[in-house]
Amino acid sequence: MGFLLVLPILICGFIYCKYNFYDKTLIAKYEGQSLYLHIAMRGIVLTLPWVVVIFLLEWASGGFWGLSDLLAERGFAKDTEQHMFTTLIMAIVFGPLYAYLAAKLSFKITRYRHGLKTDYLTRSFILKTMLPTSTHQALLLDSLFNKRLYLFSMEDRKVYIGWVENFGNLQDHDSNIDEGFSIIPIYSGFRDKDRLTVSFTTPYEKVYEAIKAEQANGPGIGNGLEDRCIGKDSRPDEIGSLFTISLLQKHIVSMTFFDGAVWEQFKKNEIPAKDATPAVDAPVEQAPTGQ
């Protein structure tokens, strides 16, 4: 009987943490006893009201319409424990469904409470406001929600300026998919190998403007993209989504908020590189000495 008391707690806690986005992401940061205690804590909170509901249903239905008596007759439980036994059995059988619905309901409550339009935005909101994140993850979420431009410096010395369009979750730190994110680029380039100064080579923003202008003046750009999201009233992020670049968080070296005016000031005051090959001094002729 003692095992039957613990089993609903473990089942409900595990199912809830598996399907509730907040807890599923949070327990990825736990290990060992902390993980078990978190699941047990969730299980206790869920199981106590659930067992009360099952007990009241068992009492109202007279032992689940004779199920308690049937189990006692077959020797599964003693006469003095048949009602408790049946209550726990029913709590275990229907516990997974109850925990699953509770997990989904909790997610929906968060979504509608904060006026979020999609499940993706709800997950992003939970990541940003409810869960501990690293510095890079916090900046990525800031760019995602506020459409802020950031300068991304990568391990391979590539540099991108853009805003985050999509952001992977934090549930599996060993998965490249979950650590991925995508940006809508404005410029891209590279850092100099020696001085690490930034040089831009691809002005995506000019391409966006050219596409918008051509779409406004003609039926399409004639390469198959006219059937996609681009139209005369297309937003910049819709056009930019055709050029989305996928990156990995673990390859980020640094992230910097990008402001065009500030960037221009830095470029104006940038110290030029010195010539690597020093000039050879011309020989100086000596004046003839008098005899």
Q: What pLDDT, on a 0 to 100 scale, did the predictor assign at position 189?
A: 92
- Cα-based distances in Å from 66 to 1, 41, 78, 94, 122: 20, 34, 15, 18, 45
CA distance 93 to 60: 19
Phi-psi region of 115 (alpha: psi -120 to 50; beta: other; left: phi over 0): left
Question: At the top level of CATH, which class does the domain 134-268 belong to?
Answer: mainly beta
CA distance 72 to 60: 19
Residue from 275, 269, 264, 274 nearest 200 by CA:
264
DSSP count for the chain of H helices, then E strands: 10, 6
pLDDT at 140 over 70: yes
User: Which range among 126-140, 255-269, 274-288 shows the weakest confidence by mean pLDDT?
Assistant: 274-288
CA distance 232 to 65: 66
Residue from 61, 50, 22, 53 nearest 38 by CA:
22
CA distance 258 to 109: 36
* Token digits of residue 86: 């049946």
CB atoms within 10 A of CB 248: 14
pLDDT at 286 over 90: no
pLDDT at 258 over 80: yes
- Does residue 51 contact residue 87 with C-beta atoms inside 8 Å? yes
Q: What pLDDT, on a 0 to 100 scale, did the predictor assign at position 152?
A: 93
| pTM for the predicted model, two decimal places | 0.58
Q: pLDDT by residue (tens digit) across 174-225?
A: 443 457 888 999 899 999 888 888 888 888 888 777 777 776 665 544 444 4
Q: What pLDDT, on a 0 to 100 scale, did the predictor assign at position 234?
A: 41
- Does residue 87 contact residue 77 with C-beta atoms inside 8 Å? no
Q: What pLDDT, on a 0 to 100 scale, did the predictor assign at position 173?
A: 43
H/E element, 167:
strand 158-167
- Does residue 20 contact residue 130 with C-beta atoms inside 8 Å? no
Q: pLDDT by residue (tens digit) across 241-254?
A: 678 888 888 889 99
User: Which range among 75-84, 178-187, 226-235 shows the weakest confidence by mean pLDDT?
Assistant: 226-235
- Does residue 172 contact residue 178 with C-beta atoms inside 8 Å? yes
| DSSP annotation of 178 | T
CA distance 40 to 54: 20
Domain ranges for the chain = 2-119, 134-268
| Contact partners, residue 101, CB within 8 Å, separation at least 6 | none
